[in-house]
Amino acid sequence: MANHKSSIKRIRQEEKRRLHNRYYAKTMRNAVKKLRATTEKAEAVALFPSVQKLLDKLAKRNIIHKNKAANLKSKLAAHISKLA
């Protein structure tokens, strides 16, 4: 266990941040899965902007890397364009 007040506080902060980041990362994964599972083009096109917005926000806040967000958006756009 930590001995210094500052290190105890740091542990509390890190745990809080870890849980916050985990929640948003999981939410992002679920949104991407939902979009990939969609077979209707109209539904996928309607869902894409919200997923794109979520990815951009997470990249801006350094929860995911900006290149990962770009790669996901690119792959999802390609997936949507392939739908009939």
Residue 84 has pLDDT above 90, yes or no: no
Residue 1 has pLDDT above 90, yes or no: no
Query: Per the structure block, which two tokens stand in for 19?
Result: 């849980």
Q: Are 24 and 63 in contact (CB under 8 A)?
A: yes
- pLDDT tens digit sequence for 7-60: 999 999 999 999 999 999 999 999 999 999 999 999 999 999 999 999 999 999
Confidence at residue 3, expressed as pLDDT on a 0 to 100 scale: 85
pTM: 0.84
> Whole-angstrom Cα distance, residue 83 to residue 24?
28
